[in-house]
Structure 1
Amino acid sequence: MDFFDTFPEPAPPPEPAPAPPRPAWVRPDAALPAAMAENAILVHEERLAIAIGGLSVYPNGFDFSIHIRTRDDSEEINPHGRRRDYVRNTVRADTDPEQNLRVGVLFADGRRAASNQPRPHDTPDNEADPDEVVLLSSRGGGGGRSYDLTYWIHPLPPDGAVTIVVSWLAQGVTEARCELDGAAIRAAAEKAVQLWPDEPLRGWVGEPR
């Protein structure tokens, strides 16, 4: 008998667990969004500008971009609180998250959400109340004098004003607002193309998509 034949056969690998149901608030993977050119400058100061970029509207929500520009050459301004001082070649973190960039949304019916509030995927079942507004930072980056960030909002808003609110206390921005047209966003959603049904999220660990 061969040496290795004396060892017991390894147990077969377990069957993969079925994927959980796809949360209703997740941005679709299998849809082509409709574009809306909703550009608006919220802040335009001597050394800092913040603007809202175009919207990408999906059947169950929309995302929009925030563009940050600065003229300061000595220190990198980071919306998440880290600063790089190019003169001293150091990086430091602001300890108070309330000083960092905060983004909020207010629907015409009073529902609202903010980027510094608990997220649905922080809950045990990864779900949210169907009527709850979800606002998530979905992607973005930058450095130096330029940052571009994207935020996802679910569900589609009712008719009326959709107010985007930005605060950045570390940069002296207490609150800046702009209004989008909820009816126009809903109309754009009708032009989004669902290519095929979205599949369950394999490997779902609660991260925004």
Structure 2
Amino acid sequence: MDFFDSFPEPAPPPEQPPLPPRPTWMKPDAVIPADMAENAIIVHQERLAIAIGGLSVYPNGFDFSIHIRTRDDIERIDPHGRRRRRDYVRNTVTPDSGDPTQDFRIGVLFADGRRAASNQPRPHLTPDHEVDPDEAVLLSSRGGGGGRSYDMTYWIHPLPPEGPVTIVVSWLAHGITEVRHELDGAAIRAAAEKAVQLWPDDQPLQGWVGSPQ
């Protein structure tokens, strides 16, 4: 008998539940988006500036970037809207009980009245859950920074109807009650036609990477 054959066969791995299909509201992986230039400075104060960068348009939505620059260190207030207090001695991070209305907030309003916001609770928004086709979704997609510079990207689903797409920004901690900037819904829909679908994006979802906001 061969040396290795003398050992018992390992037990088969436990059967795993089937992976959920990719929900329609999620940004697709198998698409090269169409880019749209925007680059609009929507806040320009003595010590703070906020700009909307370019858009990347997909068949089922679009994302856009937000750039924050300030002369002051704003580490205590995370522009993503999640307050955290860091203890550098214990190396721990705990929630800050400060007023969340003071945080950076961002929202979107479609011409047909559908809207979504970063402070909107979405406990149901999981990979195995679909949303109502008439519901707008706004998610923090990626980003980071620290100190005096932040760059974030937000994902919006679905494609907007024709008409203005209004991006709304509020940051009461910095005296910004509400600032609005309009995008062109028709231009976004036209750009979506130029997005390239590389192959069917029908693989089961392997993991959940995202932050419903």
Q: TM-score, normalised by structure 1?
A: 0.84
Map of 2:34 onto structure 1: 34
Partners of 1:52 and 1:124 lie apart in 2 by 28
Which structure 2 segments of 5+ residues have no match? Answer: 1-6, 87-92
Map of 1:43 onto structure 2: 43
Selected match of 1:192 from 162, 175, 195: 195
Q: 1:139 to 1:114 in 2, by over 3 A?
A: same
Mapping for residues 33-72 of structure 1, pairs under 5 Å? 33-72=33-72
Partners of 1:152 and 1:64 lie apart in 2 by 7
Partners of 2:137 and 2:36 lie apart in 1 by 20
Deviation at 1:125, TM superposition (A): 4.5
Secondary structure of the residue that 1:185 maps to in structure 2? helix
Partners of 1:124 and 1:37 lie apart in 2 by 30
- Listed one character per residue, the Cα deviations across residues 44-63 of structure 1 (whole Å, up to 9, x for unaligned) are 00000011000000010000
- Listed one character per residue, the Cα deviations across residues 97-128 of structure 1 (whole Å, up to 9, x for unaligned) are 22111110000011100011123754694221
1:143 aligns with 2:146: yes
- Listed one character per residue, the Cα deviations across residues 112-168 of structure 1 (whole Å, up to 9, x for unaligned) are 000111237546942211110000001000011110000000000000000000001
Map of 2:16 onto structure 1: 16
Which structure 1 segments of 5+ residues have no match? Answer: 1-6, 85-90
Q: 1:131 to 1:48 in 2, by over 3 A?
A: same
Partners of 2:204 and 2:210 lie apart in 1 by 11
Deviation at 1:41, TM superposition (A): 1.2
- Listed one character per residue, the Cα deviations across residues 8-30 of structure 1 (whole Å, up to 9, x for unaligned) are 87642123322212100000000
Map of 1:107 onto structure 2: 110
Tell whether the 8 Å contact from 1:39 to 1:51 is kept in structure 2 after alignment.
yes
- Listed one character per residue, the Cα deviations across residues 59-110 of structure 1 (whole Å, up to 9, x for unaligned) are 10000000000012x65463244589xxxxxx99462222111110000011
Secondary structure of the residue that 1:108 maps to in structure 2? coil
Map of 2:130 onto structure 1: 127
Map of 1:169 onto structure 2: 172
Secondary structure of the residue that 1:183 maps to in structure 2? helix
* Matched AA of 1:59: P
Percent identity between matched residues is 77
Map of 2:120 onto structure 1: 117
* Matched AA of 2:188: I
Q: TM-score, normalised by structure 2?
A: 0.82
* Matched AA of 1:137: S
Map of 1:88 onto structure 2: none
Tell whether the 8 Å contact from 1:25 to 1:60 is kept in structure 2 after alignment.
yes
Tell whether the 8 Å contact from 2:23 to 2:128 is kept in structure 1 after alignment.
no
